[in-house]
């Protein structure tokens, strides 16, 4: 069974996709989040600020499901420039200090709205 998840506390999708999808009550697939606020404005001019906003957006979606970052089991990080990896990683580690999900990171040619970072995540409902 598939359930579309939506919360007003995270930015509305900017395309034909859902913020997240819940599958059979066990997994939550969070769509790639970019550093925008609930008004659709880009937040931050550097990788640290943009990473902070992206993770805040993910956290808002998780909270709408009574979950936390500890429930995330896998993330995929898309970077405009792999030279930003170390700085992104510092911010990421601050948020995932106690829970280190599996992760992949890639440099991509371009991201929506020309932001510096996008992160998607998979979370589990029961730990």
- The pLDDT tens digits of the residues spanning 26-79 come to 999 999 999 999 999 999 999 999 999 999 999 999 999 999 999 999 999 999
- pLDDT at residue 112 is higher than 90: yes
In DSSP terms, 104 is beta-bridged to 76
27 near 35, Cβ under 8 Å?
Answer: no
Return the pLDDT at 23: 86
Q: What domains are defined for the chain?
A: 2-124 (3.30.1330.40)
Query: What is the Cα–Cα distance from 112 to 14, expressed in whole angstroms?
Result: 9
Would you call 87 exposed, middle or buried from its count of C-beta atoms within 10 A (0-12, 13-18, 19+)?
middle
- pLDDT at residue 18 is higher than 90: yes
Helix 47-63 vs helix 85-95: crossing angle, to nearest 10:
30
For residues 109 and 24, the model is more confident at: 109
Question: Mean pLDDT of all residues in the chain?
Answer: 95
Mean pLDDT computed over 87-110: 96
For residues 48 and 25, the model is more confident at: 48
């Amino acid at each position: 069974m598939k359930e579309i998840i939506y919360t007003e506390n995270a930015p509305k999708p900017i395309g034909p996709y859902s913020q997240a999808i819940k599958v059979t009550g066990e997994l939550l697939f969070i769509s790639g989040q970019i550093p925008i606020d609930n008004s659709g404005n880009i937040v931050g001019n550097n990788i640290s600020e943009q990473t902070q906003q992206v993770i805040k957006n993910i956290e808002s979606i998780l909270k709408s499901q009574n979950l936390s970052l500890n429930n995330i089991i896998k993330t995929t990080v898309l970077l405009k420039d792999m030279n930003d990896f170390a700085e992104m990683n510092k911010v990421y580690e601050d948020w995932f200090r106690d829970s280190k999900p599996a992760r992949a990171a890639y440099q991509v040619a371009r991201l929506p709205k020309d932001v510096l970072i996008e992160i998607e995540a998979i979370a589990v409902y029961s730990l």
